[in-house]
Amino acid sequence: MNSSPHNDQTAVPDTRTLPPPSAEEQAHSERLARRVREEVAQAGGAIPFSRFMELALYAPGLGYYAAGKHKFGDAGDFITAPELGSVFARCLARQCRQILQALADGEILEAGAGSGALAADLLLELEALGRLPERYLILELSNELRDRQAQTLRRKAPHLLKRARWLDAMPADFRGVILANELLDAMPVERFKVTDSGVRQLYVAWENDRFVWREKPAEDRIRARIEPLALSPGYTSEINFMAEAWTRSAADALKHGAMLLVDYGFPRAEYYHPQRTGGTLMCHYRHRAHDDPLVLVGLQDITAHVDFSAIAAAGTDAGLHLLGYASQAAFLIGSGLEPLMASSDPEDARAHLALTQQVKKLTSPHEMGELYKVIAFGRGVEEPLLGFSIQDRRGRL
Ligand SMILES: C[S@@+](CC[C@H](N)C(=O)[O-])C[C@H]1O[C@@H](n2cnc3c(N)ncnc32)[C@H](O)[C@@H]1O
């Protein structure tokens, strides 16, 4: 099985060549498709793509993230940095220690915690570093994943489980570090297409027993963002208004401390590069990447890259300072990757090789090192952050 990272765009197979779902998966997908069709019918024949994506991923009990599919790791559909091993979490812990030390106290809030791997490894490393926060708050949309996160903590760090608390909403006041890895890319996006008669918004309808695209006049907020870019007819891409709104709400919550968001994406000029004519929307099903979100409803992940210029504006408009923006490779090195590697014993060949492979995946420019970025915001944090000590590309946003 190919254990490619989440964003792998190298292979876009014809969806007919994807592995067929089991009878049980097929039945599950049909239940969700019925739920979507009901909403399409109630809406008069079509729903915005963002609503389709929201239902496909998060419809309670049925959506991809809300039902029992494995999702992460070799047995799932894609791999994320915390699932590769503990290196990512251990570097992030070093960055968190610096911030928690500067604040004198403070907690950690992780949003979209997936399997709970990052929570467990980060807490274990903070314990080893002598900087355990009193509480580790988790904001997670999916009830199924909340259960899985608790199981992971119980298995990997049972003595630290009591520090974890699951939240139903963003707290009004938070002091400490807000973290999210691959959260923003999993939020529903609007899709648009530039035509000779202006910017059109993409909707989803049901026709001849399948979901199909529909074009309608675009909402004002889409036109306002896209028209100034003067893109050519045919150009199709995405806008993630939900990720911007989430960043604003997290910024409002953060009264003192920092927020670190890790994801794949680019600054706006690169995101809407004239040659990126098909946008960034990708689907992942059993480690195959393809670009048709209207099939395998509820069985596959749907994701879009992040426009980091939009995220930077959302955070700073809400009063935060932009503290840094760097590639994942540079951030991990700045946060102490090299000493961490140097402490590995080459005599223990298996462990050393596993560590080396993990580091290669996390930092190689051909894998997650360059496409994945870290953006950091702060309120009341003056000290330059370790993670941006070797690279800071804020000027490109
Ligand atoms: C692509 S997964 C990444 C999981 C994990 N952070 C990792 O790196 O493996 C996206 C995660 O974000 C969660 N999620 C999506 N939207 C959310 C929201 N608005 N609030 C909290 N969690 C959300 C999903 O349920 C899932 O746990």
| Percent of the chain surpassing pLDDT 90 | 85
Identify the pLDDT of residue 2: 32
- Residues in a beta bridge with 385: none
Residues 375/308, Cβ–Cβ less than 8 Å: yes
Average pLDDT over residues 355-376: 96
| pLDDT 10s digits, 262-282 | 999 999 999 999 999 999 999
Q: For ligand 1, which residues put their CB under 6 angstroms from it?
A: 65, 72, 80, 82-83, 111-114, 139-142, 145, 181-183, 186-187, 246
pTM: 0.95
Quote the CA–CA distance of 71 and 77 in Å, as a whole number.
5
pLDDT of residue 87: 96
List the beta bridge partners of residue 377: 259, 322
Bridge partners of 289, per DSSP, are 284
Measuring from atom 11 of ligand 1, which residue has the nearest CA? 112
Distance, CA 187 to ligand 1 centroid (Å)?
8
Specify the ligand 1 atom closest to the Cα of 72. 9
- Which has the minimum average pLDDT: 69-83, 259-273, 341-355? 69-83
- The DSSP secondary-structure symbol of 1 reads -
Name the residue at shortest CA distance from atom 23 of ligand 1. 112
- Cα 320 from Cα 182, distance rounded (Å): 21
Q: What is the mean pLDDT of residues 355-380?
A: 96
Examine the pLDDT at 3 and tell me if it is beyond 70.
no
Rounded alpha-carbon distances, angstroms, from residue 395 to 14, 293, 318: 39, 34, 19
Closest residue by CA, ligand 1 atom 10: 183
Instruction: Work out the average pLDDT over 198-211.
Output: 97
pLDDT at residue 1 in the model: 28
Taking the centre of ligand 1 as the mean of its atom positions, its distance from the CA of residue 111, in whole angstroms, is 7
For the chain, the residue count is 397
Model confidence at 329, pLDDT cuts 50, 70, 90, reads very high
Apex 273 CA angle, 272 and 277, nearest 5: 80
pLDDT at 7 exceeding the cut of 80: no
Is the per-residue pLDDT at 156 higher than 70?
A: yes
Report the separation in Å between the CA atom of 299 and the middle of ligand 1, taken as the mean of its atom positions. Answer: 16
Q: What is the mean pLDDT of residues 65-78?
A: 77
Which residue has a Cα nearest atom 27 of ligand 1?
Answer: 114
Which pLDDT score is estimated for 72? 77
Q: Two tokens at 94?
A: 């070093």
Pull the structure tokens for residue 88: 């990512």
User: What pLDDT was estimated at residue 8?
Assistant: 53
Which of 7, 141, 144, 368 to mutate for ligand 1's pocket (most ligand atoms within 8 Å of CB)? 141
Atom nearest to 142 CA in ligand 1: 25
- Residue 379 alpha carbon to ligand 1 centre in Å: 24
For residue 38, which amino acid is it? E
Average pLDDT, the chain: 94
In percent, how much of the chain has pLDDT > 70?
A: 95
| Best residue among 140, 246, 263 to mutate for probing ligand 1, ranked by most atoms within 8 Å of CB | 140
Question: Could you read off the pLDDT of 91-143 as tens digits, one per residue?
Answer: 999 999 999 999 988 999 999 999 999 999 999 999 999 999 999 999 999 99
Residue scoring higher pLDDT (68 or 84):
84
